Amino acid sequence: MTKLALIALVAAACTRGEHREARAKYNEGLTLLQAGNYDEAEKALLEARSNAGVDPELRYRAAYDLGMAYAAHADKVKKDKDGDLAKALELEQQSVSWFSDAVKLRKDGDAEANLATVRARAQAIADELRRAEGKLEARLDKAIADQRKILEGARGAWVQIKEAGGADPLAQQGALTQLADQERGIVAEVGTIGDIADDEIDSIGKKPEDKRSPEEQSRVAQLKNLDIYIIEARTRIAEARRKLQDLAAEDAVARSNAALVSLKRAREQLLQPIDVLRQVDDEQRGLYNETSAVNAVKTGQLGSASEPPQLIPSWMEPPALADEQGGLRDRVEEVRSRVAPAIEHADDPNLKPEQKKALATYKEALPFVTEASADMDKARTALSAGKLGDAKDAELDAFVALGEAIERFADLKQTIDLTSDTQKRLVQLLSPEGEKVPDRAATAKDALTANLRRIARIKDLLAEQLAQVSEQEKQLDAAGSGSGAPQQQAEAQKQQVAQAKALFAQAETLRGEAEKAIGELDAAVKANKDPLTPAKAADAKLDELRRLFFNVVEHLQDLIRRQGETRDQTSAAQAEDEIARAPKLPDLDAHETEHGQLAKAIADKLAEMADAAGKQPQQQPSAPSAKNLADATAEVRLAQGDMTDAKGQLDKAVSTKNQSFSLEPSIKSQGKAIEHLENALRLLQPPKQQKQDQNDKDQQKQDQKQQQQQQQQQQQQGGAGQRARDMDAQRQKDKQQHEAAGDAVDKDW
Q: Tell me, what's the pLDDT at 83?
A: 64
Whole-angstrom Cα distance, residue 271 to residue 213? 19
Q: Which long-range contacts (CB under 8 A, 24 or more apart) does 342-351 make?
A: 342/214, 342/215, 342/217, 342/218, 344/217, 345/213, 345/214, 345/217, 348/214, 351/214
Give the residue, 398 or 204, on which the prediction is more confident.
398
Mean pLDDT for all residues in the chain: 81
Structure-derived torsion over alpha carbons of residues 478, 481, 485, 486, reported in degrees to the nearest 10: -20
Q: Is the pLDDT of residue 109 over 70?
A: yes
Alpha helices for 35-172 (secondary structure H): 38-50, 56-79, 85-105, 109-133, 136-163
According to the model, what pLDDT value does residue 472 have?
Answer: 84
| Residue type (1 letter), 268 | E
Band the pLDDT of 419: cuts 50, 70, 90: very high
Question: Comparing C-alpha atoms, which of 303, 514, 307, 312 is closest to residue 424?
Answer: 514
More confident residue, 133 or 376: 376
19 against 423, higher pLDDT: 423
pLDDT at 125: 79
629: Cβ contacts below 8 Å, ≥ 6 apart? 606, 609, 610, 613, 683, 684
Task: Determine contact, residues 235/255, Cβ cutoff 8 Å.
Answer: no
The confidence score (pLDDT) of residue 527 equals: 93
Tell me which of 174 and 522 has the higher pLDDT.
522
Measured distance CA(161)–CA(171) in Å, rounded: 8
C-alpha span between 590 and 650 (Å, rounded): 9
Looking at residue 406, what is its pLDDT? Answer: 93
Confidence (pLDDT) at 635 = 95
* Direct distance between the N- and C-terminal alpha carbons of the chain, in angstroms, rounded to an integer: 25
- At 492 the pLDDT is 74
Q: What is the mean pLDDT of residues 529-539?
A: 94
Instruction: Provide CB contacts within 8 A for 110, sequence distance 6+.
Output: 7, 11, 64
Query: Which pLDDT score is estimated for 659?
Result: 55
Specify the 3-state DSSP secondary structure of 598.
helix
Contacts of 351 (CB under 8 A, 6+ apart): 214, 345, 359
**pLDDT, mean of residues 345-374:** 86
How far apart CA 329 and CA 685 sit, in angstroms, is: 36
Kindly indicate the confidence band of residue 748, based on its pLDDT and cuts at 50, 70 and 90.
Answer: very low
Residue 5 pLDDT > 60: no
**pLDDT band per the 50, 70, 90 thresholds, residue 720:** very low
pLDDT at 517 over 90: yes
Give the mean pLDDT of 451-457. 94
744 contacts 9 by C-beta, under 8 angstroms: no
Phi, psi of 32 (to 5 degrees): -65, -35
Quick one: average pLDDT of 122-127?
A: 77
d(CA 125, CA 721): 8
Contacts of 725 (CB under 8 A, 6+ apart): none
pLDDT digits (tens, 9 = 90+) for 206-260: 878 777 777 787 788 889 989 999 999 999 999 999 999 998 988 999 899 999 9
* Residue 384: C-alpha distances to residues 13, 323, 387, 394, 414 (Å): 87, 8, 8, 13, 36
Query: In sequence order, what are the residues at sequence separation of 6 or more whose Cβ sits closer than 8 angstroms to the Cβ of residue 501?
Result: 466, 469, 470, 473
Q: Quote the pTM value.
A: 0.65
Contact 645, 673 (CB under 8 A): no
634 or 155, greater pLDDT: 634
- Over the stretch 653-677, which tens digit does the pLDDT of each residue have? 887 765 567 888 999 999 999 999 9
pLDDT at 351: 78
3-state secondary structure 246-261: CCCHHHHHHHHHHHHH
Per-residue burial over 351-378, b = 16 or more CB atoms within 10 Å of its CB, e = otherwise: beeebbebbebbeebbebbbbbbbbbbb
Res 587 pLDDT > 90: no
For residue 478, count CB atoms less than 10 angstroms from its CB and return exposed for 0-12, middle for 13-18, buried for 19 or more.
exposed
Q: Shortest CA distance to 321 belongs to which of 298, 351, 344? A: 298
* 615 or 454, which is more confident: 454
- Higher pLDDT, residue 425 or 311: 425
Where is pLDDT greater, at 716 or 198?
A: 198
Question: What's the chain's Rg over C-alpha atoms?
Answer: 31
The alpha carbon of residue 358 and the mean position of all alpha carbons in its chain are separated, in whole angstroms, by 19
Mean of pLDDT values over 98-104: 88
Highest mean pLDDT among 348-362, 473-487, 516-530, 705-719: 516-530
Residue-wise DSSP of 512-555: HHHHHHHHHHHHHHHTT---HHHHHHHHHHHHHHHHHT--HHHH
What percent of the chain is predicted at pLDDT more than 90?
A: 36
Report whether pLDDT(374) > 90. Answer: yes
Given a cut of 50, is residue 725 above it in pLDDT?
A: no
